[in-house]
């Protein structure tokens, strides 16, 4: 009798695990990952100190809170709200680096500030004043200095960091100028920056103008960074969740969401992960943050009826099973997590045990994926 290959064994194990996964199982793992983070970083006001000291409302921590607020939706706990509220109050509900920043990374924290409004008994207009003032400043600056690109989204990460915030502000205030500006910035990144960062043919994004053709990976393939594409994919979902489905903006984002979904589906690894470089053999290995963000979007798309369950459910099942099997440690630490950077080479080499330079955003990505997958299983009555 021939010995089964490693790949065949992994497939058999994956199929067995998928058949047994329930919504409660997913919630248990999500809690474990979050409890690990909250215990390790018990004081949310303390600054980070990776090569230099940074305030804890920087983008890496802000993405964590996106995940925490998503977890709160399926697992309401006052301790989650207290943790996030302490953080927001400490930073005076303000962007990192003050009201005159035009850096999308500095604005990311505003998304959680706005999500916290229903839990606060303070004046809402006062609490969003600083974020609103900052967005007004960026809108004025970007329009005034169009040619210099100051304040424009020249890297696709910015779409996740700031675009949902503009849509939130539109929904909160009713002023369409915020939605219009967010869409203007998105379209510029998509269609004009570097000749257009979205490759409609592949349904995938180049990270910035440095990676558009003729740039190639060593094997001659395009460089589509996994987490960068995850940022855009998640942003599309977060924005569509806030917009009327019949609006032109919703339809525009939905079209790109569907193109990305198909492009991403095609490059999933056999083991359920996605590579740091999506279509290249360069740095061919599991990567958790991108995988979690793709799970987030696809699980959402199935629930909305935009993605065919018979095609995408197995993609989601494989992604979740892979992360639980190969990335989640017993104490909740997440392995195979790429550190900060801008391309597949960042933080290499990755491994099951390596601690990335920042743990926060990876946990946030994981919680986003876990919570949406929980909803999908719950909707399908897989309790």
Q: What is the 3-state secondary structure (H, E, C) of 243-280?
A: CCCCCHHHHHHHHHHHHHHHHHHHCCCCCCCECCECCC
> What is d(CA 278, CA 205) in angstroms, rounded to the nearest whole number?
10
DSSP secondary structure string, 35-94?
A: HHHHHHT--TTSPEEESEEE-TTSHHHHHHHHHHHHHHHHS--HHHHHHHHHHHHHTTT-
Structure tokens, 366:
């994981």
Residues 6 or more apart whose Cβ sits within 8 Å of residue 323: 272, 273, 288, 291, 292, 295, 334, 366, 369
Q: Which of 157, 317, 343, 360 is catalytic?
A: 157
Q: 106 an active-site residue?
A: no
The burial of 172, by beta-carbon neighbours within 10 Å (0-12 exposed, 13-18 middle, 19 or more buried), is given as middle
User: Is the Cβ–Cβ distance between 365 and 230 less than 8 Å?
Assistant: yes
Count of residues in the chain: 383
Half-sphere exposure of 93 (CA within 13 A, CB side): 20
DSSP secondary structure string, 158-169?
A: HHHHHHHHHHHH
Which residues are marked as active site? 157
């Amino acid at each position: 009798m021939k010995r089964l290959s490693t790949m065949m064994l992994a497939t058999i194990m994956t199929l067995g695990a998928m058949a047994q996964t329930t919504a409660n199982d997913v919630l248990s793992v999500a809690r474990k990952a979050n409890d690990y983070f909250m215990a390790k970083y018990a004081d949310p006001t303390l600054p980070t100190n990776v090569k230099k000291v940074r305030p804890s409302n920087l983008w890496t921590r802000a993405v964590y809170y996106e995940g925490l607020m998503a977890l709160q939706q399926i697992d309401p706990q006052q301790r989650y709200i207290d943790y996030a509220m302490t953080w927001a109050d400490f930073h005076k509900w303000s962007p990192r680096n003050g009201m005159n920043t035009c850096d999308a990374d500095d604005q990311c924290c505003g998304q959680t500030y706005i999500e916290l409004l229903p839990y606060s008994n303070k004046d809402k207009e006062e609490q969003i004043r600083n974020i609103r003032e900052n967005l007004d400043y960026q809108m004025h600056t970007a329009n005034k200095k169009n040619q210099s690109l100051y304040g424009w989204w020249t890297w696709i990460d910015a779409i996740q960091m700031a675009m949902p915030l503009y849509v939130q502000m539109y929904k909160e205030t009713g002023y369409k100028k915020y939605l219009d500006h967010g869409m203007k910035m998105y379209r510029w990144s998509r269609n004009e920056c570097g000749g257009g960062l979205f490759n409609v043919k592949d349904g995938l994004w180049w990270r910035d103008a440095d990676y558009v053709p003729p740039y190639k990976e060593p094997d001659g393939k395009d460089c589509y960074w996994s987490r960068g594409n995850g940022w855009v994919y998640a942003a599309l979902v977060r924005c569509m969740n806030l917009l009327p489905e019949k609006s032109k903006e919703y339809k525009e984002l939905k079209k790109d969401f569907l193109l990305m979904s198909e492009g991403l589906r095609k490059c999933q690894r056999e083991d359920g992960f996605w590579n740091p470089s999506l279509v290249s053999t360069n740095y061919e290995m599991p990567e958790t943050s991108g995988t979690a963000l793709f799970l987030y979007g696809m699980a959402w798309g199935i629930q909305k009826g935009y993605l065919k369950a018979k095609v995408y459910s197995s993609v989601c099942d494989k992604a979740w099973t892979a992360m639980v099997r190969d990335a989640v440690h017993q104490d909740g630490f997440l392995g195979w997590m790429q550190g900060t950077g801008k391309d597949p080479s960042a933080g290499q080499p990755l491994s099951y045990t390596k601690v990335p330079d920042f743990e926060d955003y990876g946990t946030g990505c994981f919680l986003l994926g876990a919570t949406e997958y929980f909803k999908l299983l719950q909707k399908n009555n897989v309790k």
